[in-house]
Amino acid sequence: MESLVCTGCRREVDGRLWQARCPECGEPLEVTAPPGGTVRDGAPLLERFANFLPARSLGLHDPAAVLTLGEGNTPLLPLETIGKRIGLPRLLVKVEGANPTGSFKDRGSVAGVQRARALGFRAVGTVSTGNMASSMAAYAARAGMRGVVLVSATIPRAKLAPIAAYNPLLIGVEGDYGRLYHLSLELGPKLGVAFVNSDDPYRVEGQKTLALELWQQLRRQVPDAVVVPVSSGGHMAALLKGFRELYALGHIERLPRLIGVPAAGCGPIAAAYRLGSTVPVPWAEVRTIAKAIANPSPPSGRRLLQAARSGAPLHFLSVTDDEIMAAYWQLSQEEGIFAQPDAAAAVAAAHKLAESGVLRPDETVVAILTGHGTKDLTPLESNAPVRLRTCSLDELPGVLESAL
- The window from 5-13, 80-88, 231-239, 295-303 that contacts Zn ion (CB under 5 A) reads 5-13
Q: Which residues contact 162 (CB under 8 A, 6 or more apart)?
A: 101, 134, 375
- Our CB check for Zn ion shows the closer of 11 and 142 to be 11
Look at residues 52, 71, 50 and name the one whose alpha carbon lies nearest to residue 61. 50
What DSSP character marks residue 148? E
Q: Which residues does residue 125 pair with via DSSP β-bridges, in sequence order?
A: 148, 195
Q: Does residue 22 bind Zn ion (CB under 5 A)? A: yes
Quick one: 17 exposed, middle or buried, by C-beta within 10 A (0-12, 13-18, 19+)? exposed
CB of 299 to Zn ion, least distance (A): 14
Answer for which of 12, 14, 17, 24 binds Zn ion (CB under 5 A) is 24
Q: Does residue 14 bind Zn ion (CB under 5 A)? A: no
Q: Which residues contact 173 (CB under 8 A, 6 or more apart)?
A: 150, 151, 152, 153, 180
Look at residues 142, 149, 129, 130 and name the one whose alpha carbon lies nearest to residue 193. 149
Q: Which residues contact 12 (CB under 8 A, 6 or more apart)?
A: 3, 4, 5, 6
- Our CB check for Zn ion shows the closer of 5 and 149 to be 5
CB of 152 to Zn ion, least distance (A): 29
**CB neighbour burial string for 53-82, b if at least 16 within 10 angstroms, e if fewer:** bbbebbbbeeeeebbbbebbbbebeebeeb
Q: Does residue 110 bind Zn ion (CB under 5 A)? A: no
- Our CB check for Zn ion shows the closer of 26 and 78 to be 26
- Please count the residues of the chain: 404
Q: Which residues contact 277 (CB under 8 A, 6 or more apart)?
A: 305
- Our CB check for Zn ion shows the closer of 25 and 171 to be 25
- Our CB check for Zn ion shows the closer of 24 and 176 to be 24
Q: Does residue 8 bind Zn ion (CB under 5 A)? A: yes
Q: Does residue 9 bind Zn ion (CB under 5 A)? A: yes
List strand residue ranges (DSSP E) for 12-127, in order.
12-13, 29-31, 76-78, 91-95, 123-127
- The window from 3-11, 83-91, 125-133, 203-211 that contacts Zn ion (CB under 5 A) reads 3-11
DSSP string, 228-295: EE-SSSHHHHHHHHHHHHHHHTTS-SSPPEEEEE-BTTS-HHHHHHHHT-SSPPP-S----S-GGG--
- Our CB check for Zn ion shows the closer of 26 and 397 to be 26
- The window from 1-9, 117-125, 222-230, 254-262 that contacts Zn ion (CB under 5 A) reads 1-9
CB of 199 to Zn ion, least distance (A): 14
- The window from 11-19, 194-202, 291-299, 317-325 that contacts Zn ion (CB under 5 A) reads 11-19
Look at residues 124, 77, 118, 115 and name the one whose alpha carbon lies nearest to residue 96. 77
- The window from 16-24, 151-159, 296-304, 358-366 that contacts Zn ion (CB under 5 A) reads 16-24
CB atoms within 10 A of CB 387: 5
**Total chain residues near Zn ion (CB under 5 A):** 7
CB of 268 to Zn ion, least distance (A): 21
CB of 306 to Zn ion, least distance (A): 12
- Our CB check for Zn ion shows the closer of 5 and 226 to be 5
**Degrees to nearest 5, angle at CA 338 with 229 and 206:** 45
- Our CB check for Zn ion shows the closer of 33 and 118 to be 33
Distance CA 116, CA 4 (A): 15
CB of 33 to Zn ion, least distance (A): 18
Distance CA 167, CA 186 (A): 24
- The window from 10-18, 62-70, 80-88, 148-156 that contacts Zn ion (CB under 5 A) reads 10-18
- Our CB check for Zn ion shows the closer of 9 and 399 to be 9
- Our CB check for Zn ion shows the closer of 13 and 286 to be 13
Answer for which of 12, 14, 16, 25 binds Zn ion (CB under 5 A) is 25
Q: Does residue 296 bind Zn ion (CB under 5 A)? A: no
Q: Does residue 6 bind Zn ion (CB under 5 A)? A: yes
Residues that bind Zn ion (CB under 5 A): 6, 8-9, 11, 22, 24-25
